[in-house]
């Protein structure tokens, strides 16, 4: 019998001990629930032997494997004797690369499409994020600092993930992946959401800034799924946000630094076009408007870090406030107005709001290096945002925002001094 839902997990710990407790807590929460007929869960787990032993106490490593060695195991969730659920080991694959789109596609096809075929699929990713990709080792970034040539990172890019999804599940009306949920940091990038939208996925839940180290409310989210009443992709996406723990006065807020959003991907083409139109109009304001635009970028910056991201709605608000009339104002207002259509549910980190009451993230980011020096030394921008790069995102290739960035940064490189 075909399932109503199959939930697919892609998990990579990058051998970081700091993620061990969080990972175990997630599995404990999931196993506390009893999986029901008509729902399947499959897990691709890339972790150290030690981390696997903490999750699966019955696991027997191969001869010669050390606790610190990484490996990949595939599990499914099954009813446990009595109450709750238990993990069932399906396969060991020491050669599997969770950053390789072909390997991920094969995992989707074998364990979701063929063995756990369903009317609907939910994809859940767990691990580090890099805005336009998943599971990038921290060593990837510094080794490429200062390289002005596009160099692909060792990660599963948004394009790679999308290719894996469409290769396994099909496109358009064939697409049954209703939503993607990430706990990975910085993943609410417009380029990433647009790539998923191109695959026909309906909803996208992810942090716009730092990762959710404590994760989602798995008991509420999957408890709702197992009950089976009113379960849709939209309902699950909304619940992923609304079930998050709220801050309690006088107690530490585990999600205080995280802003996470449930977004409707069907509106991303309209958002991408609106952002592109605004960028194109601002491009026409150069060179005279250079200094004003630079101020607006600085004022709207919600996230800097390694990727130099700004919240696109904050930027549009700033443009609208700074320009009282004309075409620029109209286009900025159009971008800002789309937030109501795009962002379905929001969780604003209490610490982030307190630290920057007028700058905290609102739901979707774009890359905007603050100056040419930074742009020339940011491998993320050079590789995935710069239009001329062979690895540039779909958004960068097909829309005019990247052309605006190119011209803006070229002016900055000329040494224009702003008052």
Q: How far is CA 386 from CA 307, 360, 368, 395, in A?
A: 13, 26, 11, 10
Percent residues over pLDDT 90 in the chain: 67
pLDDT at 211: 66
Q: What is the pTM of this model?
A: 0.94
- Check whether 299 has a pLDDT greater than 80: no
- Provide the b/e sequence for 277-315 (b: ≥16 CB within 10 Å): bbbebbbebeeebbeebbebbebbbbbeebbbbbbbbbb
Q: What is the per-residue DSSP string for 140-195? A: GTGGGTT--S----SSEEHHHHHHHHHHHH-SGGG--EEEEEE-STT--BHHHHHH
Name the residue with tokens 């930074």.
374
- List the structure tokens of 319: 């443009």
Q: Are residues 218 and 160 in the same domain?
A: yes
The answer to whether residue 349 is domain-embedded is no
Q: What is the pLDDT of residues 49-101, one digit of tens each?
A: 999 999 999 998 888 889 899 999 999 999 999 899 999 999 999 899 999 99
pLDDT on residue 249: 75
pLDDT at residue 304 in the model = 56
Cα 413 → chain centroid:
32
| 280 and 243, same domain (yes or no) | no
Q: Tokens for 46? A: 């890339």
Q: Which of 230, 249, 266 is the last residue of a domain?
A: 266
Share of the chain above pLDDT 70, in %: 95
Higher pLDDT pick, 119 / 63: 119
132 and 113 in a common domain: yes
Beta bridge partners of 120: 5
CB within 8 Å of 347: residues ≥ 6 apart: 241, 244, 255, 258, 259, 260, 261
How far CA 275 is from CA of 334, 339, 395, 399, 408, in Å, comes to: 9, 12, 10, 9, 15
Question: Of the candidates 241, 266, 291, which is a domain's last residue?
Answer: 266
**254-271 pLDDT, tens digit each:** 888 889 999 999 999 999
Determine contact, residues 162/108, Cβ cutoff 8 Å. Answer: no
Task: With CA atoms as reference, report the closest residue to 278 among 226, 334, 222.
Answer: 334
Question: Element (H or E) spanning 77, and its range?
Answer: strand 70-79
Do 246 and 304 reside in the same domain of the chain? Answer: no
Burial 2-29 (b: 16+ CB within 10 A, else e): ebbbbbbbbbbbbbbeebbebbeebbeb
Are residue 295 and residue 405 in the same domain, yes or no?
yes
User: Nearest CA to 127 among 91, 147, 100, 156?
Assistant: 156
d(Cα 399, Cα 97) in Å, to the nearest integer?
A: 32
Number of domains in the chain: 2
Residue span of the structural domain in which 64 resides: 3-266
Residues 274 and 262 in one domain: no
**Per-residue confidence (pLDDT) for residue 360, from 0 to 100:** 86
> pLDDT: is 370 or 314 the higher one?
314
Helices (H), 203-248: 218-227, 233-242
Binning pLDDT at 50, 70 and 90, where does residue 143 land?
A: very low
Mean pLDDT score of the chain:
90
Residues 6+ apart with CB under 8 A from 68: 15, 48, 49, 50
Single out the residue in 200, 232, 266 at which a domain terminates. 266
* Inside any domain, residue 353: no
Q: Phi, psi at residue 239, to the nearest 5°?
A: -65, -30
String of DSSP letters for 324-366: -SSHHHHHHHHHHHTHHHHEEEEE--HHHHHH-TTTS--S-EE
Per-residue pLDDT, averaged over 132-152, amounts to: 70
Report if residue 190 sits inside a domain.
Answer: yes
**Could you tell me if 80 and 227 lie in one domain?**
yes
- If asked whether residues 81 and 126 sit together in one domain, one would say yes
Judge whether residue 9 has pLDDT over 90: yes
Report residue 300 as tokens: 């709207």
Q: How distant, in Å, are the alpha carbons of 49, 161, 196, 199, 220 from that of 263? A: 36, 18, 12, 15, 19
351 in a domain, yes or no? no
Maximum mean pLDDT: which of 171-180, 344-353, 369-378: 344-353
**Residues 305 and 257: beta-carbon distance below 8 Å:** no
CATH number of the structural domain spanning residue 103: 3.40.50
| 26 and 145 both lie in a single domain | yes
Minimum mean pLDDT among 85-99, 253-267, 271-285, 352-366: which range?
352-366
**First-to-last C-alpha distance (Å) of the chain:** 69
């Amino acid at each position: 019998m075909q399932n109503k839902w199959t939930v697919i997990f892609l998990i990579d710990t990058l051998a970081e001990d700091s993620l061990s407790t969080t990972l175990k807590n997630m599995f404990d929460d999931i196993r506390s629930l009893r999986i029901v007929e008509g729902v399947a869960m499959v897990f691709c787990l890339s972790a150290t032997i030690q981390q696997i032993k903490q999750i699966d106490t019955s696991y027997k490593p191969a001869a010669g494997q050390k606790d610190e060695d990484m490996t990949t195991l595939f599990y499914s969730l099954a009813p446990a004797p009595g109450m709750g659920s238990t993990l069932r080991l399906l396969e060991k694959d020491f050669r599997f690369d969770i950053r390789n789109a072909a390997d991920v596609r094969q995992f989707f096809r074998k364990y979701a499409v063929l063995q756990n075929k369903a009317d609907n699929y939910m994809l859940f990713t767990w691990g580090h994020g890099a805005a336009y990709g998943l599971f990038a080792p921290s060593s990837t970034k510094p080794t490429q600092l200062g390289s002005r040539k596009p160099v692909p990172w060792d990660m599963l890019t948004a394009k790679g993930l999308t290719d894996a999804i469409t290769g396994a599940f099909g496109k358009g009306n064939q697409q049954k992946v209703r939503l993607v949920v990430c706990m990975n940091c910085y993943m609410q990038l417009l380029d990433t959401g647009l790539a998923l939208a191109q695959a026909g996925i309906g909803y996208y839940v992810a942090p716009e800034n730092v990762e959710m180290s404590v994760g989602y409310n798995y008991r509420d989210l999957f408890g709702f799924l197992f009950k089976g009443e009113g379960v849709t992709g939209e309902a699950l996406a909304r619940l992923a946000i609304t079930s998050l723990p709220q801050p309690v006065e006088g107690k530490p807020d585990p999600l205080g630094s995280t802003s996470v959003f449930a977004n409707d991907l069907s509106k991303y083409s309209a958002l991408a076009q609106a952002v592109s139109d605004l960028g194109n109009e601002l491009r026409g304001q150069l060179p005279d408007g250079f200094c004003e635009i630079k101020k607006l970028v600085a004022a709207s910056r919600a996230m800097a870090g390694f990727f130099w991201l700004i919240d696109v709605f904050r930027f549009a608000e700033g443009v609208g406030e700074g320009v009282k009339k004309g075409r620029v104002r109209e286009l900025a207002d159009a971008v800002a107005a789309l937030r109501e259509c795009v962002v379905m549910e929001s969780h604003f980190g209490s610490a982030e709001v307190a630290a920057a009451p007028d700058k905290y993230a609102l739901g979707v980011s774009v890359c905007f290096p603050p100056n040419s020096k930074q742009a020339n030394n940011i491998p993320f921008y050079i590789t995935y945002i710069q239009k001329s790069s062979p690895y540039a995102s779909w958004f960068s290739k097909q829309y005019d925002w990247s052309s605006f960035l190119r011209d803006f940064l070229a002016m900055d490189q000329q040494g224009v001094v702003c008052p």
